[in-house]
Structure 1
Amino acid sequence: IIAVIEGRGNAQGEVGLACYDLNNSTLELYQFSDCHTYSKLVTKLNILNPAEVIMSNTVCEKEKLSSLIQQISMHCSTLKIVSVNRKYFNDRKGFRIFIFNLLQLRKNANFLFHAAHLYYCLAATNALFKYLEFVRNITFVPSSIKVVYKTNEHSTMMDITTTKNLELIRNANEQKSHLSLFNVLNNVKTQMGSKLLRSNILEPSCDLQTIVERLDMVDELLNNSNMFYKIRNALVYFSNINHILSSMVQKSSVASLKVAESKLTTLINLKNALEAVELLKDAFEDSVSLLFQTFHRLLSHRCYTDMLEAISSVVEDNTHLTKNLFATKVQKGYAIKAEANGLLDISRRTYSEAIEDINQLVVELREKYHLPIKSNYSLHKGFYLKIPVKNMSACSLPNEFLKIMKFKGSFIFTTDQLVGRDFHIVVFILIADNVLAEVMKNISGLYQLAECVGIVDVVASFAFNAIRSDHIRPVFTDTLAVKNSRHPILERMPHCHVISNSIYASEANNFVIISGPNMSGKSTYLSQIAILQIMAQIGSYVPAETASFKLCKQIFSRIGYNNYIGTNSSMLFNEMKEMNYVVQNVNKCSMIIIDELCKGTSLDEGVALFLAFCEHIKNFQSFCFIATHHENVIQLEDYHSNFEK
C-alpha cells in the first residue's frame, strides 16, 4: 500500500512516497523531483505494483482533477486510488510514528537525522499508517519495522512504456502467457526471491561492483554443483519467511481467537525456518564469492540459535504443519510441550474429547442413513460434514442436515450437534504470545535472513537458467559487442528455430541504423538488444557465445504506437511527446531503441522529424539503435562517421 503526496506552490513537482508491504513488513521511502508528466512516479508505481494508492482528497476532487491524478489514471488505470483528508499528510506526526516504529533506533541515529528533512516522505508515512490503523485495523509492535530510504543513484531508469514494449513482466498480446523476461528467468523457490527478481528486472543495477559480485556468485554455483543443489534444497524451507515476518510485526486491533491462533501458526513456521538456517549456512561453508562468505558470517550469528532454543523450549520437536486444515488443527493442539503449562493437559483432554465426539457423530449418521458421510474442517466454516454428489439431490437429504450447499462435487452441511463445535486451546495461544515476545528481541536477524534468502534465491535461479539454456558470463567495457546472441524469450517458444545475431556499438560507432523488408525481424532484434542489456545488469548470464556490455543508466525504447482516445491524442502526438522525453533526458550513459519513428504523418514531414532527432542525438555518446525504411535516414551513414548501417 502506497501513500503519495506532492508539494504545493514553489515545491510543486517534489513528490514524497511511502510504501509499506503487508507481506514483508518493510517501509520504503522515496522523495524526488519529477517533471510535469510525473514519469518517475508512474515508473515507480509500475515497479512497486501497489494494491492501493492513498492520496489527498484535494487532488482527487472530480471537479478539478490534478495533472498528477490524470497521469496516474492514464498510465496505471488498474490502480485503486483512495482519498483521505489532507490533514493526515502531516510530516511532524509522521516523524513521531517513524521514531516509534523504526527498528533498532539507536543504531539508526544518522538515518533519523537525514529522515527529519524528508518532509514529504514523513507526511506520506503519517497518512499511510493512519489508513492502516483506522481502515485496515492494523497496528505494529514498537521498534519492529525495517525502514529503507531508496534513491535512483545506482539504478537504471526505464519508463513504463519501455517495460511494456520489451515485455519484461507480462506478454503484450496475451496477459496469461508465460512469454516474458520475468517468466523466463523465474525459477525461484521463495516469494522473497520472486519479488526481488521482479524489481531487479524493472530497475536493473548500474553499480558495477554489485553486478560483478552477483556474477561471481552465479559463476561459483555453476562450477560447484554440490553447493548449487544444497542451496536449492535449503531454500524450500524459507518459502514463506516474508509472511512469518509480517505476522510477527503486525497487530490486529480486533481481538479474536482466529487472530490469536495464527500466532501459534507463526511460531511453528518460524521454528521450521530457523531449523533450516544451519542447512543454508553449511551450503556456504567453503564458498569463494564475497557475498556468499558474507552470508555465511551473518547466518553464524548467535541470534538464530537463541531464537530456536526459545521456541524449542515450548514447541515439540516433530511439529510440522500440513496442507490439510483438519490435520493442522489437531497438530496445533499437541504442538506445545506438556511441561510448558500446568493447565495444558486439562485443555488437551477436553480438546480430544470434542474431536472424538465429532468422529462418533459421523459414524452414527453414516450408519443411520447409509450414506458415505465424512467430516472436514475449514477456517471459515469450522467443522462440517460432506457427501459426494454423484446422482443425489439436495432435496433427497434428511431434514436433520442443515445449511446444505454444493461445493466441489460434494454436498456440505452441518447438524444441530455439530454447530458451534469449533474448539481452541487458549492456554497454548498465551504461551505462543510469550515466546514471540522473546523472539522479537532478535527481529533484525530475521530481516537479514529474509534479505539473504531473496538474493541467494535469485542468483540460484540465474544459475539454473544458465545451465538449462547454455548462457555465458558477460563482461563490462566501453563497447557493446555480443557475438551470436539469441533472444531469451524466443528460446522458450515451442517449435521455434532461433536465429542468432551479433550486436556491436562503440564510441566511434554509437549510432546504428537497421533496415530491411517487413517481417525480417527488425523489431525482434531491437528488443533483443535491450533485453540482453537488462539481463547483464541484473547479474544474469546471457544467451550468446561472447558478450561485452557498456553500463547504461537509462534505457529508452519506442516500439509501436496507437491513438489514445482517452486524452484525444493522435499517433504523432504520442510519438512527439515520448521523443521529447528522450531528448530532455538522454546522456552518454543512455541506450535508445527506436522502431519506425514518425509513421503517423506524411512521408516528408516524417523524414524531416526523423532526421532532426538523429542530428540531435548524435551529439551525445549514447548507444542508439534505430530501425527504419526511410532511405534518407539510411544515407546518414555517408555524412557522419559515428553512424553505421
Structure 2
Amino acid sequence: MMQQYVAEKKKRPDCLIFFRLGDFYELFFDDAVLASKELELALTGRECGLGERAPMAGVPHHAADNYILRLVNRGYKVAIVEQVEDPQEAQGLVKREVVKVITPGTLTDQSAIDEQKYLFLASIIQKGVYYGLAVCDITSGLFETTEITYGATTPKLIDELSRFQPSEIICNQEFADSKTCHDLLQKETITLSVQPDIDFNQDSIARFPMIDTTDYALWAAATAALLNYIESTQFTLPNDIKTIKPYQLDAFMILDQNARRNLELTETLRDRQRKGSLLWAIDRTKTSMGARLLRYWLEQPLLDIKTITHRQDAISVLLDNFILRQELIAQLTGIYDLERLSGRIALGQINARDLVSLISVLEKIKPIKNILNNFDDPYINSLNVQLQDLPDLMDLLKSAIVDEPPITIKEGNLIRTGFNSEIDDYRDATQNGKQWILDLETQERERTGIKSLKIGYNRVFGYYIDIRKTNLDAVPQEYIRRQTLTNSERYITEELKNMEDKILGAEQKLISLEYELFLEIRNKTISYLPQLKANADVLSQIDVLSGLAELAEKNDYCRPLLTEDLKIEISNGRHPVVEQTLGYGQFVPNDSYLDHHDNKVMILTGPNMSGKSTFMRQVALIVLLAQIGSYVPADSAKIGIADRIFTRVGAADDLAGGQSTFMVEMNEVSQIMRNATTRSLLILDEIGRGTSTYDGLSIAWSVIEHIVDPHYINARTLFATHYHELTDLAESTQGVFNCHISATEQDGKIVFLHRIEEGCAGQSYGIEVAELAGVPDSVVSRAREILFQLERDNQGRRLTVKKSARPFDGQVDLFSAAQSFNQTNKVIEKLKNIDMDYISPVDARKILEELIAEAKGKV
C-alpha cells in the first residue's frame, strides 16, 4: 500500500496526496507534516518497512471537502487517490489511482467559489519581450486568449492580469525566471506552476483542433499549454470549448492596474471590499451569471460606438416599459446559475440535484421569451431568437428525475417511479422485502413473547435478530447465534437469511441500474450543451440590461451621447458611488467640459476635503459607464470616446520594491507620459507633492506642458494641485484653463460648497482643515502665526517661469533632455525606448555594447 502512495506522489510531486483508506483520507511523509500544521491535525505514524515509521495524518472522508478547500485557498494543490476496483474482485492490493486534482484555478465546487466573479486559470509564455496569454474559467467555460508583441509589452501583460485576476498561473521557465514574475508574486497571492516547453510547442498546438490557427503563435502556445493543464487535472476537456480565437488588446478601453484600483471599479481602496465600489453602486442584477457579466463589462469598456448604441437602445426600451420590465425582473429573480451549471455539464460533473435545478431554469425560458416578444428592439429581438426552451430535454428530466434526489449518484433514489419498468420491479421487491422484515419482527415478538425483540441490519452481518440477555431463556432452538454483544445476542434464521439475499440482491441491482440510467440521461443532457450555453449567455445579458434600466430609472440617470470627437460635456454630473452612499438628492452636482482646443487641461485648485478628487473620479466614472453602454448620473452628457483612462491619485511607499512614495509617483507619471494618446483621459492628483516645493512645482509644470503639447500627448486632462503658481499656465499656454472648488467661511469656520467654478482658488484653507481634523488648538494657533509671517515676508513675490523654446512654445521633454539638441540622433532614440523597469542585466549589457559601437562609429 505504501508503494502505491509513493508511486502516485512521484507522478504528482507538486500535489498533496489524499490517499483513501477505508473511511479516511490519509497523508504520509512530508505531506502529512505540512497538512498537520496547516489543518491542525494530529500527526501520527505508520510502519513503512525497514523498521521505519512514516509520518501520517488523516481526515474523515465525509468531511474531506472542507479540509481540501482550506488547503487550496492557501495555494496548495490536492490530488485525490481512490479505490478504482471492487475489493471483493481484487487480486492482492486493491487498485488505486488519482481520480481528481484540485488546484486554486480549477475549483468547481459551487460552495467554494465567489458566485459574482469569474475564477480564472491563466497560462503565460514569454519569448524575449513578447508574451502569449490565455485564461479560462472552467466553471463557466469562458476562454480568452491574446498575444502581446508590440509597444510596452510587459506593462500590457500586467494590465491584462490585473483585469482577469487569476487564482493560478502556469507558465514556461523563461517567464518564471523573469523579474516580472518575481515582482508579480511579491504583490499578489497566486499559485505558480512551471510547465515543460513541450506543452507550449507546435505539436502541442496541433493536438487541439479547437485552436484556430495552423501557424505557431504565442497566443496559441499559451492556449495549448492551458488545455494540457486542464486535461491533466480534470481528466477530460470541457465539451463546450469549440473554436478558440485571440482577442485584440485595442478592441476595448485600456485600464491599467492603477486606474482599476484608484477608480475603485470592483473593490474599495481602503479595505478591498465590494461595498463602496462602482460595481456595488450600479449592480441591480438578479442572477449570479448576470452579476459576473456586469463585472466583465465594467472591466473592459467598449470603443465601438455602434455596439455601445445597441446596448443603450435596449436599455431605453426596457426603461420605457415599466410593467414588462418588472415582469422580466420577477422571472429572472432567483434563477439558478445556468452558466456554471453548463460548465459542470461540460466536465461531466453534474449530479441529480443539478438536473433538478436545470428543470427550474428551463421552466422559466418560455415565460421570459413571451415577455421579450413585446419589446421592439433589434438587440433584444436577437437575444430572444437565441433563447430556447428545449421542451424535449425538460420533459425527459421531469419524467426521469425525482423531485428531491440525494447529492450522490451511486446510492440510488434518483429515478422517478414509472420511468423505467425494470427499476419499478426492483424497487417493489426491495420495498416489499422490507415490509416482510417488519412483519417478521412483529410475528416473532408474538411467538417468543420477547417484547424487546428487534430485527436490525449492518453491512458486516446483514439482517439479524437482536435479543437482550435478560430474555435469552426464551430464544427458540432454530435461532442461529451470529454475534455476542455486552447487553445482547444477535441471531439469524434460515428464513431471514433467504429473504436477506433477495432484498440485498434487488437493492444492489436497483442502485446499479439507477446509476446506469442516470449516466444515460446525463449524456443526453450534454448533447444540449450548445443551447444551454447560449441560454446562459442570453439570460446574463438580459439581466444586465434590465438591471441597468432599473438603475437609470431609480437614480435618475440620463442617456449619454457617444461621439468620435474629443469633447466631454457633462451637465450636473454626479459621482455614482458617493451619491448612493449619501442618499439621493444629497450630492452636489457639477458641470464638466473638456475639449481639444481651449479646454484641454483643467487645473483644479481648492482646499483639502473640498471634493477635488471626488470630482475628477466622477468624470472618469461617467466616461467609463457611458462606454459600457450604461446611462450615467447626470442631466445630460456628451462623451468623446476615450481609449484609456489614466489615474495618478495618491501613493504609498513600495517597501518590498525599495521605492519611496515619490519614486512610486514618478514611475506612475512616467508610464502615463509614455503610453497616453490624444484619445486618453488623464486624472492627475497632486503631481510633485512628494518632494521639495520647487522640485515638485517644476515637475508638475513640465508635465502639464508635455500633456497639452500637440506634438506630444495632447490629451484631455483633469489636474488637481495645491501649487497655485501652476494657474499661471492658463495665461501662457493654449488649452490650459483654471477651475476651483468653492469654499467660504462662516463664523470663523470653513464651509465647503463643493461647487466647481471658473478661475483659481483664493486660498487653501489648510489650517482650517487641520482644525476640523482635531489638531490641538495650540498647534493651530501657532500655524496661523507662522502663516502670517511667511505671507508678510513674501508679499509681492511671485514665482515666474520663462517659456522654453519647443515646437509650439513648449519645454524640453521631461524624460528626454538630450532631444532638445539632437532630435535625430539614433543613439538617443534607442535610449528613449529602453524601459529600465523591464530589462534584464544580460539584455542591458548587450544594448550598451551596441550603443557604444554605434557611438564610436559616429566619431
CA distance in 2, matches of 1:459, 1:35: 35
1:277 aligns with 2:365: yes
448-457 or 32-41, which deviates more: 32-41
In structure 2, runs of 5+ residues without a counterpart are 1-104, 106-120, 442-485, 488-506, 739-859
Q: In the alignment, which residue of structure 1 is the partner of 2:719?
A: 626
Shift of 1:68: 2.4
Counterpart position of 2:202: 91
SS in 1 for 2:249: coil
Equivalent in 152, 158, 168 of residue 52 of structure 1: 168
How many residue pairs are counted as aligned between the two chains? Answer: 547
Of 302, 316, 319, the residue aligned with 2:399 is 316
**CA deviation string 1:226-260 (max 9, x = no partner):** 22123212224643111221121114xxxxxxx6x
Which position in structure 2 is the counterpart of 1:67?
179
Equivalent position to 1:507, from 574, 596, 602? 596
Equivalent residues of 1:34, 1:41 under 8 A apart: no
| 685, 703, 707: which one aligns with 1:613 | 703
Shift in CA distance, 423/337, structure 1 to aligned 2, threshold 3 Å:
closer
- Is residue 207 from structure 1 mapped to residue 295 from structure 2 by the alignment? no
Tell me if the contact between 2:253 and 2:303 (Cα under 8 Å) persists in the aligned partners: yes
User: 1:644 Cα deviation (Å)?
Assistant: 1.2
Counterpart in 1 of 2:633? Answer: 543
Alignment of 1:129 with 2:240, yes or no, is no
Measure how far apart 1:623 and its partner are: 1.1
- Which residue pairs with 2:686 in the alignment? 596
2:182 maps to a residue whose letter is Q
Within 1, Cα distance between the matches of 2:154 and 2:631?
Answer: 34
Residue identity in the other structure for 2:640: K
Correspondence for 1:223:
320
SS of structure 1 residue aligned to 2:557:
coil
Aligned with residue 138 of structure 2, among 7, 22, 27: 22
Q: Please state how far the C-alpha of 1:149 moved relative to its aligned partner.
A: 2.8
Give 1:316's aligned amino acid: S
SS at match of 1:566: coil
Separation of aligned partners in 2, 1:149 and 1:355: 64
Deviation track 1:355-400 (CA, whole Å, cap 9, x = no partner) reads 9999xx9xxxxxxxxxxxxxxxxxxxxxxxxxxxxxxxxxxxxx99
User: How far apart are 1:317 and its partner, in Å?
Assistant: 8.4
Change (3 A) 1:582 1:141: closer
Partner of 2:351: 263
- Equivalents in 2 of 1:236, 1:433: separation in Å? 31
Q: Is the 8 A contact 1:15 1:120 kept in 2?
A: yes
CA, structure 1 residues 131+635, in 2 after alignment: closer, same or farther (shift >3 Å)?
same
Unmatched 5+ residue regions in structure 1? 103-110, 252-258, 362-398, 401-420
Q: Residue 169 and residue 228 in structure 1: after superposition, are their counterparts in 2 closer, same or farther (change >3 A)?
A: same
1:7-47: CA deviation from partner (whole Å, max 9, x where unpaired) = 43xxx222111212121123221212266672222221222
Distance 2:136 2:387 in 1: 26
Per the TM alignment, residue 93 of structure 1 is displaced from its structure 2 partner at its CA by 1.4
Q: Is the 8 A contact 1:188 1:457 kept in 2?
A: yes
Structure 1's 320 and 159: CA in aligned 2 closer, same or farther, altered over 3 A?
A: farther
Aligned to 2:124: 5
| Counterparts of 2:607 and 2:433, CA distance in 1 | 79
Instruction: Choose from 611, 614, 635 the match for 2:728.
Output: 635
- Equivalent residue of 1:544, what SS? coil
Residue 342 (str. 1) matches residue 422 (str. 2):
yes
Paired position in structure 2 for 1:529: 619
Displacement of 1:523 after TM fit? 0.8
1:165-215, Cα deviation, whole Å (9 max, x unpaired): 111111111233611101111221222212211121121111111111111
Map 1:262-411 onto structure 2 (within 5 A): 262-299=350-387, 304-305=389-390, 308-313=391-396, 315-316=398-399, 320=403, 333=413, 335-336=415-416, 338-347=418-427, 350=430
Following the alignment from structure 2 to structure 1, what is the Cα–Cα distance between the partners of residues 404 and 689?
60
Once the 2 structures are TM-superposed, how far is the Cα of residue 528 of structure 1 from its aligned partner? 0.8
Aligned counterparts of 1:565 and 1:483: Cα–Cα separation in 2? 43
**Is 1:498 paired with 2:623?**
no
Deviation by residue 1:302-345 (Cα, 9 ceiling, x = unmatched) = xx43xx314523633895559xx78x999983653523352344
Letter of the aligned partner of 1:276 in structure 2? K
CA distance in 1, matches of 2:428, 2:231: 36
- Which region of structure 1 is more displaced relative to structure 2, 328-337 or 12-21? 328-337
Label 1:352 to 1:69 Cα distance change in 2 as closer, same or farther (>3 A).
Answer: farther
- The amino acid across from 1:187 in the alignment is R
Give the match's secondary structure for 2:362: helix
The match for 2:217 among 119, 139, 142 is: 119
| Letter matched to residue 591 of structure 2 | S
Q: Structure 1 residues 607 and 356 mapped into 2: Cα distance closer, same or farther (>3 Å)?
A: farther
With over 3 angstroms needed to count, the CA separation of the structure-2 counterparts of 1:148 and 1:34, relative to structure 1, is: same
TM-score, scaled to structure 2: 0.59
Say if 1:189 and 1:239, in contact at 8 Å, map to a contact too. Answer: no
Cα distance change, pair 591–36 in 1 and its aligned pair in 2 (3 A)? closer
- Number of the residue aligned with 2:570: 482
- Identify the match of residue 531 of structure 2 among 445, 448, 453: 445
Q: Give 1:194's match in structure 2, choosing from 291, 295, 300.
A: 291
Whole-angstrom CA distance in 2 between matches of 1:500 and 1:461: 24
Q: Which amino acid aligns with 1:126?
A: A
Task: For residues 479-498 of structure 1, give each alpha carbon's deviation from its aligned partner in whole angstroms, at most 9, with x where no partner exists.
Answer: 21111111111122157931
Offset at residue 143 of structure 1 (A)? 6.7
Separation in structure 2 between the aligned mates of residue 486 and residue 178 of structure 1, nearest angstrom: 18
> Which has the bigger relative contact order, CA under 8 A and spacing at least 6?
1
Contact 2:411/2:511 (<8 A) preserved: no
SS at match of 1:549: strand
Offset, 1:351: 7.6
Tell me which amino acid in the other structure corresponds to 1:506. D
Which stretch of the first structure deviates more once superposed, 612-621 or 561-570? 612-621
Determine if contact 2:570/2:592 at 8 Å carries over to the other structure: yes
Matches within 5 A, 1:138-157: 138-140=235-237, 144-145=241-242, 147-157=244-254
SS at match of 1:592: strand
**Structure 2: which amino acid aligns with 1:291?**
Y
Instruction: Report if the CA contact (8 A) 2:415-2:518 is conserved.
Output: no
2:571 maps to amino acid = K
Displaced runs of 4+ in structure 1, greater than 6 A?
328-332, 351-358, 421-424
Q: Distance in 2 between matches of 1:34 and 1:564?
A: 28
Shift of 1:137: 3.2
Q: Distance in 2 between matches of 1:197 and 1:424?
A: 46
1:592 is displaced (CA, Å) by 0.3
Deviations along 1:102-161, one digit per CA (max 9) or x if unpaired, are 3xxxxxxxx82xx33352223223322332233x33412657556353222321001001
Q: Which moved more, 1:227-236 or 1:331-340?
A: 331-340
Distance 1:537 1:630 in 2: 33
Question: Partners of 2:431 and 2:273 in 1: how far apart?
Answer: 46
Answer with 1 or 2: which has the greater Rg. 2
Give me the whole-angstrom Cα distance separating, in 2, the residues matched to 1:142 and 1:317.
23
